[in-house]
Structure 1
Amino acid sequence: MANADAAKKAAGVRAVDFIENGMKVGLGTGSTAYWSIMEIGARVKQGLQVSAIATSIQSEELAREQHIPLITFSQFDYLDVDIDGADEVDGQLQLIKGGGGALLREKIIASASRRFVVVADEHKFVPQLGAFPLPVEVTPFGWEYTFRQLTAMSGRPKLRQKDGKTFITDNGNYIADCSFGAIKNPRSLEALLNAIPGVVENGLFVDRAHTLVLGYADGTTKVMNKI
């Protein structure tokens, strides 16, 4: 296993220790959250009783393959734990998410969770957010106007492409990948972006994460909690 994969697996597996019998769990999306889902599936086979809701169609399909019982929002008031990855995370546990295009569902599920556990390899831990382009989910209707507003904010938006076509999220929207540079005030930027008509949600997750599990290439992990 490559060093990066070993780090992701270590973080993903370690985070599952926060899950207890009978909990309602959020299942994240991405290459690190994948390992959490696989570990939850293994523990379900060993007798762990949980119910879960996934942040993407991809993760939902993986959960079904692992025989993890799935629920819908009509069946609960809150989730006990949400385990999901990050594209960047800083020392205050502020995040950039959405590299996989699932940021809207990810933010809804994180908001519905009593404890949001972030899993990441050591390279995702940064002194300041902004090197990774910030994903902004926008409606197809009027997206050109929305892009002009993002450009006026110095976001330099690029319409995400996949296989030569415009990328479509699970919710039928587009993704604008924005390059704002160093994000000194993520709280303010999150609010400004969401105030633009046509913006559905953005990939800044501010004051949402409670715990960070960092994985390292040697298979060790480090747990950090929000102060």
Structure 2
Amino acid sequence: MSGELSPIDKAKFVAAKRAVDFVEDGMRVGLGTGSTAAWMVRCLGEMVREDGLKIKGVPTSTRTADLAREVGIEVISLDEAKWLDVTIDGADEFDGDLNLIKGGGGALLQEKIVATASDQMIVITDASKEVEHLGAFPLPIEVIPFGWQTTKSLVEEMLISMDVMGRDSTLRMNGDHPYVTDEGNHILDLHLGRIGNARQLSLVLNQVPGVVENGLFVDICDVVILGFADGKVETRDINEGTVEEDRLDFLESDNLFKDMMD
């Protein structure tokens, strides 16, 4: 029931609920990965089952694909879709220009490919993710397993000339073994503290041999939807230069809450 949800989960839910209002019949929708995106997938599934919404979803990870199928969303590949109407995803950090850090859930490569193949990218999040400067959250970069330690050294050396506060990096682990992405790669988390020029850093990182992609999403996000525990929702559109506030009610009888708390 909604009364059993934490304030952060309520904030995630109302942001997700507002975001699915952007989805219309017949759309091809990119489905993000992570805890906030999971709320969005469940909201869309409810619309498919109860309102007859007809969409095709392109998931950004195997776990999102599994959830989408579970809630009744038709899943297709990006190659089948070719282009998407909208992608809805979460973020680990965002700044005033709606630049993002993503990849905390390990799906940054597929997330960036899907987001850039969309007419619009909508990010759903809570106020805790807003920062003045990106970098407090460790920046993930996906690297191939071969020679990853060499790649790590090259990245740390490159960071000397970048406008960042720190240069340490760590290999992401899954228990006693390196974390493995859906593409069979590893992730290095860069502990930068503060990123002065995200666009420059993104371009330079991708030139390092062994780096597949980085978690900086620059000039990709169009709309950020912020959810709050009291039901308030703030929608910021970077292209229109608008900020709109709304309030959503969540009731203990809501079917989605029942599903989540079972």
Q: Shorter-chain TM-score: which interval?
A: over 0.9
Q: More deviation in 163-172 or 135-144?
A: 163-172
What is the match of residue 83 of structure 1?
A: 88
> How many residue pairs end up in the alignment?
227
Give TM-score, length-normalised by structure 2.
Answer: 0.85
Q: Does 1:180 align with 2:192?
A: yes
1:114-170 alpha-carbon deviations (Å, 9 max, x no partner) = 000001011011111010000000000010110001221153110001222211011
3-state SS of paired residue (1:53):
strand
Q: More deviation in 68-77 or 31-40?
A: 68-77
3-state SS of paired residue (1:181):
coil
What is the match of residue 147 of structure 1?
A: 152
3-state SS of paired residue (1:74):
helix
Deviation at 1:93, TM superposition (A): 0.3
The equivalent position to 2:6 in structure 1, one of 2, 5, 18, is 2
Q: How does 1:194-213 map to 2 (within 5 A)?
A: 194-213=206-225
Q: Does 1:165 align with 2:177?
A: yes
Give TM-score, length-normalised by structure 1.
Answer: 0.98
Distance, in Å, in 2 between the alignment partners of 1:80 and 1:74 is: 14
Distance, in Å, in 2 between the alignment partners of 1:219 and 1:3 is: 10
What 5-or-longer segments of structure 2 have no aligned partner? 161-166, 240-262
Distance, in Å, in 2 between the alignment partners of 1:175 and 1:145 is: 14
Distance, in Å, in 2 between the alignment partners of 1:69 and 1:76 is: 12
What is the match of residue 189 of structure 1?
A: 201
What 5-or-longer segments of structure 1 have no aligned partner? none
Deviation at 1:219, TM superposition (A): 1.8
Distance, in Å, in 1 between the alignment partners of 2:176 and 2:145 is: 17
The 8 Å contact of residues 150 and 156 in structure 1, kept in 2 or not, is answered as no
Deviation at 1:74, TM superposition (A): 2.8
> Aligned-residue CA RMSD in angstroms?
0.9
The 8 Å contact of residues 102 and 217 in structure 2, kept in 1 or not, is answered as yes
The equivalent position to 1:39 in structure 2, one of 10, 18, 43, is 43
